Amino acid sequence: MAESLTVDLFSGIETKPRYLLTSARHLLRILDQGLIVPDLVGQTSEGGIANFEENQLSLVWQSGTPLSRPALIEINNSEIDAGSIPLADVSRILFKSKDEYEDLLCRGYENVPFCLFKFDTLPESKLIENSTIRAEFFLPKLDQRALSKKYRHFDSAIAGINYLIFSNKKENEILETIKAYCNSDFRKNIESISSQLASQFEKSDPTTPTIISTYLKVLIENEGNGSWVREQIIDNFVRALPDNLSSREDIAAWSSMVKDISRGIRDMPVLNDEKNIVLRAILLHIQNPDENSINRMKESPSAPGEAVSWLAGFFAAWNYGYASLLAEEKINHPGLFFLYGEIISGWINKKEASLDHLYRDTDDVNTKLYWREKFMLDCIRETISPSVEENDQGCTELEKPGLVEYAQNSKLVASIINSNKQGIALKLRADLLMQLPKNTRIALAEQQLYGASLVTMKVKIIDLKVKSQKERLTKEKAIELLKLSYSTKDVLRIKMDNSSVYLEAIACPIETLSQDYFDETLSVFINSLISLKSNKKKGTKRAKSSSRKKV
């Protein structure tokens, strides 16, 4: 069986993996925030990130203090000596046994996007016999409060950037919006964000960027929504403003009004007048620190103006931080999830983040962003965590008996990524994978199916919304698809909706699945896609030939 890819197809450079030590609890925080920092992995005596090559792993597991559920993070192509490492460089996460990582996956932490990563077991020769580690590689005690204080400002800024991106109505400007925040100077980024926001409000005065950036810095210093004391926030904000600010008198009157509202002495004024937008947005946010409250305000009879509520929503996102995003949101936009790790890592390491690895699918109506290595090399990821049911003994059952064996015996499969009672997700052999058309590989990545999940396997092969003749459903192409569907009707069918034509694999009930049917479904599906590619090339050659004859 061919091995899965470990070579960077875009640079052609093969890299030796290195390993970092962590624990299951520390790992949850790493996968939540999208970043590896020294506080969450094994450290050297100097406080740096301890890392090992594979032949050094036996040095780690010696007599020492027991570590609950140790894990190794396999890193490729990364500057290990830096102050932080983005998760885009993680190739695998290794546990002592399959039971250990399956137990973690089955718990369903709502903020942790497990399915974006590959979990595996340690090689037999490297198994931990006594679950102990050498003293110099101890993990720091997991201190959530200290972590929050140390990295909260990065977390807040990323939340603000995320809000700006997803509230941007011009989807084709997403990449341009992100570029503004890849600078390695974090403070300069706050000023850049503030200036960009101020420029969106025609009636704003020259002091607006200063007011916005001051409030953002106050939110960073705040311990979070758990200690939200309105009057304290107001005092900190007014105190932080520069003395020479021209609108100080207006702000003094404004702060007095906000305090009266907070004490219940005055009613909340109508905010649909967008004069002095920024101060009104801050008022709205101080009274409603979370985005849900602000959204409810939008639906109230005295709804605030659009600009006021939008800016208040931005402040709310900044206040809560990026880590509060659900795993589903991170999974649906994996390109951004990995990019945010790159940006924060750039801020910590004082190095500009690069957009080289970000791929924007312009064919997609929603302009989805993909992280190239993750979706071109790792090939597939399921879109949701495995659905798990417990049996009478309380044990988890992730696999349907026989299904995994079919995949392991198939000549087309490189490895198994995940499996559950609904189907199985596979990594195809690299040589087969690279024969597929680029658009098809992208479509498979979009479905998180760079291979096959036997129940849901389908690939968009024609987008009916595009206007180019090349992608249009012509009469000839329709006949070709009908022939394909008819000749392979037992395992494939063509499906069509209002916007696309799909090639879909039909799976019989898993209970009746046989090895022959498994192989047939996979091989017909792959060969059909390759056939479509070759037919397309032949058509192009014929077109060129006929054009030469006409000339």
Q: What digits encode the pLDDT tens for the residues 233-285?
A: 888 888 888 887 777 778 888 888 888 888 888 888 888 777 788 888 999 99
**Beta-carbon contacts of residue 106 (< 8 Å; ≥ 6 apart):** 386, 388, 396, 398
**Beta-carbon contacts of residue 7 (< 8 Å; ≥ 6 apart):** 13, 14
User: Is 344 in contact with 402 (CB distance < 8 Å)?
Assistant: no
User: Closest Cα partner for 355 from 374, 375, 369, 376?
Assistant: 369
Tens digit of pLDDT for each residue in 431-488? 666 666 666 665 555 544 433 344 445 666 666 555 555 555 555 666 566 666 555 5
182 φ, ψ (degrees, to nearest 5):
-90, 0
Residues 384-401 as b/e (b if ≥16 CB within 10 A, e otherwise) read ebbebeeeeeeeeebbbe
Helix (H) or strand (E) holding 461: strand 458-463
Strand residue runs (E) in 322-434: 358-360, 369-371, 413-420, 423-428
> Residue 470 is which amino acid?
K
Cβ neighbour number for residue 184 with a 10 Å cutoff: 15
What pLDDT sits at residue 27? 92
> Which residues are bridge partners to 73 per DSSP?
20, 93
Helices (H), 37-143: 57-60, 98-105
User: Is 36 in contact with 20 (CB distance < 8 Å)?
Assistant: yes
What pLDDT sits at residue 501? 65
Helix (H) or strand (E) holding 481: helix 475-487
Helix/strand/coil for 118? coil
Q: What is the largest CA-CA distance in the chain?
A: 87
What pLDDT sits at residue 551? 26
Cβ neighbour number for residue 381 with a 10 Å cutoff: 22
User: What are the sequence ranges of the domains in the chain?
Assistant: 146-324, 379-550
CA–CA separation, 384 and 120 (whole Å): 18
User: Is 531 in contact with 481 (CB distance < 8 Å)?
Assistant: no
> Residues of the chain whose pLDDT is less than 70?
1-15, 58-68, 77-79, 108, 123-138, 168-177, 184, 202-204, 223-227, 355-412, 414-522, 524-551
CA–CA separation, 88 and 104 (whole Å): 21
Q: What percent of the chain has pLDDT over 90?
A: 3
User: CA torsion 282→288→293→297, rounded to 10°?
Assistant: -60
What pLDDT sits at residue 172? 53
pTM score:
0.59
532 φ, ψ (degrees, to nearest 5):
-60, -35
> Which residues are bridge partners to 370 per DSSP?
359
CA–CA separation, 72 and 51 (whole Å): 10
Residues 67-82 as b/e (b if ≥16 CB within 10 A, e otherwise) read bebbbbbbbbbbebeb
> Given phi > 0 = left and psi -120 to 50 = alpha, else beta, which region is 210?
alpha
CA–CA separation, 300 and 492 (whole Å): 51
- Burial of 297 (C-beta count, 10 Å sphere; 0-12/13-18/19+): buried
CA–CA separation, 423 and 400 (whole Å): 8
- DSSP class of residue 129 equals S
Q: What is the mean pLDDT of the chain?
A: 69
